[in-house]
Amino acid sequence: MSNNNQFKTAVVGLGYQSHEDHLPALKNIQNIDLVAICDKDKDKLSAFKKENKKIAVYNNIEKMLKKHQLDFAIVVLPHNEHYNVTKKLISNKIHILKEKPFAVNLKEGVEIMKLAQKNKIQIMTTLQRRYNPIYTTFFQLIDKIGTPFYIDIRYHFYVNNPHEGWRGIRQQAGGGCLIDMGYHMIDLLVWYFGLPEKVFAEFSCNAVCNVKYDAEDTISILFKYIKCLWGTMLISRVVPPKEEYFYIYGTHGIIKIKRGLIERLNSKGDVLESLTIQSSWPSAATDQIEYFLKVITGERKNITSPEFNFNHLAFIEACYRANNSNKYVNPHKLIKDVYEKQIGD
């Protein structure tokens, strides 16, 4: 931190998420000094510079790192570009707040974690639902519905070009809709109930006629826990209408969570209590960055640390392996196998 108690930061990646969430949030926080923006697209940089003349812009991260001593950086890039940028930032002793996914696979995730630990760097993955009252209210309601026995999760919408861009190429994205939009639903599941004991999945890349692509546009998942709890998850980029929900069914009631709404119902489906807020909850992005500053200074625990995100990566990897093998896969075993192998190397 600089002498005037300002955290110096840069944003790497000038896409939609930066403009929608991170840049407005940074402007709301008084003890942050946004000193630089980095993006490969010179047109984006020029447009940004016209509106923000005091902030330096770079199309090369090495040049930016030579010019500025940063306390932390926000990484907002396509999945396949996270890895190299993250390693460069860690090597320069810069803390990182990064968009999901934490990594494109478990092996890569363990490598990043080891490098961060060696350099005493904090990495936190952005999962903004954790800073939204709708999703935190779950913990006040869960004990009121008895023993949960079934979970129903859906997140889908329609785009007519799921095959286009880096999101349509599995090698670049690390997967399809599951590792992208599905990451948020996986986070809620792991946050609320922990990592399932086994998963099975079916997926397809068939929504566009006469076009071959390998990043799934739709995936259906069956997951099970030890204690008589199981559930289903449907994630799709080609199934209308736009819908997102997380339902939990218990022996004494139901919890229904949607964007901007959480309800507790009795077993017959009658609403007993509910909370409604503005669905976007714009302060979540600001709250998330402010929380990260406290993680950097040691005042808060890193709740979306590399180690915690191993759960998400293992769930995703287990789904893909289950589809290939036509068998249930235990994600806990994947973490154990990869973690022990790489830590031992």
CATH code at position 43: 3.40.50.720
Please identify every stretch of the chain with a pLDDT value under 50, giving residue numbers as ranges. none
Residue at 142 is within a domain: yes
What is the rounded average pLDDT for all residues in the chain?
Answer: 95
Residues 122 and 43 in one domain: yes
For residue 5, the model assigns a pLDDT of: 81
Q: What is the pLDDT of residue 343?
A: 62
Split into its structural domains, the chain has a count of 2
Closest among 23, 305, 15 to 167, alpha carbons compared: 15
One domain for residues 275 and 139: yes
- CA atoms 238, 98, 37, 82: torsion sign: negative
Within-domain flag for 49: yes
Q: Do 48 and 144 sit in the same domain of this protein?
A: no
Domain of 78 in residue numbering reads as 7-127+284-300
The whole model's pTM is what?
Answer: 0.95
Determine how β-strand 238-250 pairs with β-strand 253-258.
Answer: antiparallel
294 & 328 share domain: no
Q: In 10 A of CB 101, how many CB atoms? A: 25
Domain membership flag for residue 66: yes
The answer to whether residue 306 is domain-embedded is: no
In tens, the pLDDT along 259-295 reads: 999 999 999 999 999 999 976 677 899 999 999 999 9
Same domain, 256 and 115: no
Same domain, 156 and 60: no
Within this chain, do residues 111 and 205 fall inside the same structural domain, yes or no?
no
Q: What is the pLDDT of residue 283?
A: 87
CATH code for the domain of 260: 3.30.360.10
- Residue 36 covered by a domain: yes
Q: What are phi and psi of 310, to 5 degrees?
A: -60, -30
Per the DSSP assignment, residues forming a β-bridge with 273 are 264
Strand partners, 255: 248, 264
Same domain, 74 and 180: no
Give a yes or no: residue 307 inside a domain. no
Please identify which residue in the block is written with the tokens 């670049």.
Answer: 172
Structural domain includes residue 342: no
Q: Return all residues near 122 (Cβ < 8 A) that are at least 6 apart.
A: 95, 96, 116, 292, 295, 296, 302, 305
Same domain, 259 and 295: no
Asked if residue 142 and residue 116 are part of one domain, the reply reads: no
Task: Specify the DSSP element, H or E, that contains 219.
Answer: strand 218-224
The reply to whether 225 and 327 lie within a common domain is yes
pLDDT tens for 147-158 read: 999 999 999 999
The pLDDT assigned to 270 comes to 99
* Interatomic CA distance for residues 322 and 63, integer angstroms: 44
Same domain for 157 and 104?
Answer: no
Q: Are the CB atoms for 18 and 25 separated by under 8 Å?
A: no
pLDDT, residue 231, reads 99
| Concatenated DSSP letters of 143-208 | GGG-SEEEEEEEEEEE-S-TTSSGGG-HHHHSSSTTTTTHHHHHHHHHHHH---SEEEEEEE--SS
What per-residue confidence (pLDDT) applies to 196?
99
